[in-house]
Structure 1
Amino acid sequence: MKNKLNLYKKLALQTILYSIGTILPKIINYAFLKFFTKSLRREEFSLYTDMYSLSFIVIGFLSFGLENTYFRFLSKRKEDKEIIFSTGVIIQFIITSLFLIFSIYSVNYLVSVAGYKKHPEYFFMFFLIIFFDTICILPMAWLRAHEKVLRFTMINVINILLQSFFIRYMFSFHLLKNKTSFLSFIFEFVNSLTDKTGFIFFANMISSFSSFILITPILLKKVNIKNFNKVLAKKMLNYGIPIMLGTLSFSFNENLDKIFIKRWLSDEINGAYSACYKIASFMNLYIRAFRLGIEPFFFKKSEDYDAKYYYEEIIYLFIILGLIFYVLICGNISILVGFLIDKKYHTAISIIPIVMMGNLFLGIYTNLSIFYKIIDKPIIGTYISLIGVFVTILFNIIFIFIPHRNFLIPAWGTLTSYGSMVIVLYFWWKKNFLKFYRKIWSVILHLILSVTLVSYIFFYESRIEVSLFLQLLYIILVFLFEINNFI
């Protein structure tokens, strides 16, 4: 019992420390959501989200699963840390450099296919954003692996503060009649190249470049071309490619709906859908914080005799806390929506509980996926992710071909896709993880209770005081039911 408490305390501390560097920037981005939805028209916001949707798919490909690969090879080959890191970084640099060269050479074709002939500058900025962000993946993973939490946090905080400063500065400067400032030349230069939406991309490009500068000392000190190992590179690619396919599948699952809605409905509808989708993505804050603290622990613990027990306990804890988070966010959605996005975007509010539950399923899947990673069978994740992509594509095809297109269909596709992935992976592993199998009925009971409560509050209960009472009652019931499991 004491060991269990000490474990939870350690994990909680790690999660809090990593949250400062990872979750705080996300929260700042959410703080900008109201600013963006007030400053941009819905069609402009649609362009903003569409460019990021396309870039996430590209980054999913370019990452080649090397972050997870790096963590896994560290746990297996501790004597070769510098060789592993150098080999991984050189692989990443080659892949990303080839992308940059190809993209610049093919920019006219890419702009035409994507429907951005009026804004080729968006693509040039995103080529650089993608290049710098991808190059930073492994150095940031190195900081996590070596528990350099403060440095990790500093880089992320500097990144978001720079981005925030330039966004606020350029949008504010854009409204001024007397444009005199010590940074006016920057605004005049950027304003001559792009529009308000492009201001956001320019700020991101500057912050991504700053992160690259800040991780450069790690690259100079720790990366040595002489440490590049061709045999190891082949092994890392063989391990990482299935993870890359899984990441690419995730990128499609997350972004295909917005790409389709923009092109088959309108930018106005996609703008509202995307804004509400971002609120639903609150769940990813919880998932991200939990994952940053847990994932290195999972790999380190993989060789211990009691590893399976701790995996089961931690995943069960993740589900319970995730459902509480779901109830608290969706139970107060009317307040959050009014606070976070402008009224003209409220037309898509109905997608939030659907997409948010889908994101929780994604978090469950992400935690369960550690099982096939620690036995070096990431191909299992590839197969399951392809099932999820198939479901996503199916729902989006239905969305395209039905006479009266409804943006709820892609939202249900997100939920069904991630739900099907969890179910498939669960049945794949239930024979090997019997204790978790015995807890499945508790999970289902918690799931039914939370969804029922959220549905009642969302559709039938408009009184805030009643809603808050029901949420408090729910938390008390969960605490009483689960207290013996986690003490």
Structure 2
Amino acid sequence: MLAQLKRLGSETIVYGTSTIIGRFLNFLLVPLYTNVLRPDQYGIITYVYSIMAFVNVIYSFGMESAYFKYSSTREIGTGRENFTTPFTSLFASSLFFSWAIAGLASPVAGAMNLPPEYQRIVYYMAAILAFDALAIIPFASLRMEHKARQFATLKFVNIFINVVMNIVLLVTLHMGIEGIFISGLTASVVTFLLLLPTVYRHLGGRFNPDLFRSLLKFGLPAIPAGLSATAVQVIDRPILRALTNDATVGIYQANYRLGIFMMLIVSVYDYAWRPFYFSTAKDPNAKEVFARALTYLVLLMTGVFLVLTFFIGDLVKVSFFGRHIISPAYWSGLNIVPIVLLGYLFLGVYTNLSAGIYIEKKTHYLPLITFLSALVNVAANYLLIPPMG
């Protein structure tokens, strides 16, 4: 058990170091956005990316988890077929979906209630979604091969390019909201290009129809669960926008991002946890290993929650070169930070416990579990936002 936990810890450190550095760089966009953009502009960006989060689930149609399952067990097909089949299916579907979105840009912008001057955002959305989908299987392959350093480096490059482009396009070229989406697209394209050696190394096996059907059978039930899980995380933004305005969404998002410290713990753990529990599931002491991992995770997250809850008000008031972590115009939303932190704590527990559902191939329970969570979230938002804001 010690050796297994050591391997999990080693990979977590690699993922964690790069993720912490990368997310910190990405977090620097918060003071940039809050000092350059008006709250209503930040609200539009937040809203669009929340919609993209839902569409992303459709683009992936559960292929990442399905790839982890069948690539690790090799129940059907060869190693190359286990890469080629999900990759080519995502390639075809993502191109079709993005072509459809771009072709219907005007109706899509209207349905999203975007101001006419921001209709071009839809084209950037379509392109970003396509390139992100194309990167799913290559990134999953690196994780399955325990190439944590290469995976982490590419993720860091993606974030670094995005941050640098944001600074250049917003501060130097004053491109506003459009510059933010151009930055995201540039980062996605470069990342996929850097993944091409991984694609070339694994691509070549035939498209296996039997494997494809098994991938769909395993992955498709995860789509409703994925949509529900996304709803739990971001449905509050569209609802808040519908009930209030873009400026309120911008203030909410700026303060929500202060939960980055807890979110980092969950993200880092999840990167190492998924491939780890699949490869460890058949070990005789698997249950004990999983329980011990959960104990350590909860202890860490509880400590972070307490520290930030008591001191977040003081932290945001610290001045750096005359600027704050978030502009004073956004401080009215600081009261949501402890709630956000607590939500991430429970997300970490869910991440650990969900291993059993995937290992036992009981993914058909996921839609019900996450749908009920999403339903509660939606209902709570509609009930609580009007009186509480």
TM-score, normalisation: structure 2? 0.93
Asked if structure 2 preserves the Cα contact closer than 8 Å seen for 1:47 and 1:267, the reply is yes
Q: How many Å apart are 1:386 and its aligned residue?
A: 0.6
Note the alpha carbon deviations across 1:434-470, whole angstroms, 9 max, x for none.
Answer: xxxxxxxxxxxxxxxxxxxxxxxxxxxxxxxxxxxxx
Q: How many Å apart are 1:274 and its aligned residue?
A: 1.0
Q: How many Å apart are 1:297 and its aligned residue?
A: 1.3
Q: How many Å apart are 1:399 and its aligned residue?
A: 4.2
- What is the DSSP-based 3-state SS (H/G/I as helix, E as strand, rest coil) of the residue aligned with 1:340? coil
- The residue aligned with 1:110 is 108
Structure number with larger C-alpha Rg:
1
1:262 to 236, 241, 263: 241
- The residue aligned with 1:43 is 40
Amino acid at match of 1:239: F
Q: How many Å apart are 1:149 and its aligned residue?
A: 2.3
Can you give the 5+ residue segments of structure 1 that lack an aligned partner in the other structure?
Answer: 176-194, 408-487
| 1:87-236 map, 5 Å | 87-116=85-114, 117-174=116-173, 195-224=175-204, 226-236=205-215
Q: Say whether residues 1:246 and 2:246 are aligned partners.
A: no
1:345 to 323, 330, 335: 330
Matches of 2:240 and 2:357, distance apart in 1 = 34
Matches of 2:316 and 2:297, distance apart in 1 = 26
Matches of 1:13 and 1:111, distance apart in 2 = 45
1:306 to 285, 301, 310: 285
Q: Which runs of 4+ in 1 moved over 4 A?
A: none
Matches of 1:381 and 1:208, distance apart in 2 = 29
Q: How many Å apart are 1:281 and its aligned residue?
A: 4.2
- The residue aligned with 1:52 is 49
Name whichever of 100-109 and 153-162 sits farther off: 153-162
Asked if structure 1 preserves the Cα contact closer than 8 Å seen for 2:99 and 2:126, the reply is no
Q: How many Å apart are 1:305 and its aligned residue?
A: 1.4
- The residue aligned with 1:383 is 368
Could you say if the C-alpha distance between residues 123 and 15 of structure 1 is closer, same or farther in structure 2, counting changes exceeding 3 Å?
same
Amino acid at match of 1:230: P
- What is the DSSP-based 3-state SS (H/G/I as helix, E as strand, rest coil) of the residue aligned with 1:332? helix
Note the alpha carbon deviations across 1:325-361, whole angstroms, 9 max, x for none.
Answer: 2112222211333342111101111111112111211
- The residue aligned with 1:373 is 358
Q: How many Å apart are 1:34 and its aligned residue?
A: 1.0
Q: How many Å apart are 1:85 and its aligned residue?
A: 1.1
Can you give the 5+ residue segments of structure 2 that lack an aligned partner in the other structure?
Answer: 318-323
- What is the DSSP-based 3-state SS (H/G/I as helix, E as strand, rest coil) of the residue aligned with 2:282? coil
Matches of 2:18 and 2:209, distance apart in 1 = 34
Asked if structure 2 preserves the Cα contact closer than 8 Å seen for 1:66 and 1:240, the reply is yes
- What is the DSSP-based 3-state SS (H/G/I as helix, E as strand, rest coil) of the residue aligned with 2:332? helix
Matches of 2:329 and 2:251, distance apart in 1 = 8
Note the alpha carbon deviations across 1:108-151, whole angstroms, 9 max, x for none.
Answer: 11101111132111111111111111110110111111122232
Could you say if the C-alpha distance between residues 319 and 249 of structure 1 is closer, same or farther in structure 2, counting changes exceeding 3 Å?
same
Could you say if the C-alpha distance between residues 381 and 77 of structure 1 is closer, same or farther in structure 2, counting changes exceeding 3 Å?
same
Asked if structure 1 preserves the Cα contact closer than 8 Å seen for 2:134 and 2:192, the reply is yes
Asked if structure 2 preserves the Cα contact closer than 8 Å seen for 1:167 and 1:199, the reply is yes
Q: How many Å apart are 1:11 and its aligned residue?
A: 2.2
Q: How many Å apart are 1:99 and its aligned residue?
A: 0.7
Amino acid at match of 2:270: R
- The residue aligned with 1:26 is 23
Asked if structure 2 preserves the Cα contact closer than 8 Å seen for 1:139 and 1:218, the reply is yes
Asked if structure 1 preserves the Cα contact closer than 8 Å seen for 2:59 and 2:93, the reply is yes
- The residue aligned with 2:255 is 276
Asked if structure 1 preserves the Cα contact closer than 8 Å seen for 2:72 and 2:144, the reply is no
Asked if structure 2 preserves the Cα contact closer than 8 Å seen for 1:30 and 1:340, the reply is no
Asked if structure 2 preserves the Cα contact closer than 8 Å seen for 1:162 and 1:207, the reply is yes
- What is the DSSP-based 3-state SS (H/G/I as helix, E as strand, rest coil) of the residue aligned with 1:331? helix
Name whichever of 277-286 and 266-275 sits farther off: 277-286
Amino acid at match of 2:332: T
Cα RMSD for the two superposed structures:
1.7
Matches of 2:90 and 2:21, distance apart in 1 = 27
Note the alpha carbon deviations across 1:214-258, whole angstroms, 9 max, x for none.
Answer: 11222233222x521111101111101122221111111111111
Total equivalences in the alignment: 381
Q: How many Å apart are 1:278 and its aligned residue?
A: 1.2
Matches of 1:24 and 1:69, distance apart in 2 = 29
- The residue aligned with 1:425 is none
Could you say if the C-alpha distance between residues 123 and 383 of structure 1 is closer, same or farther in structure 2, counting changes exceeding 3 Å?
same
| Higher normalized contact order (CA 8 Å, seq sep 6+, divided by chain length) | 2
Amino acid at match of 2:170: F
2:79 to 72, 81, 89: 81
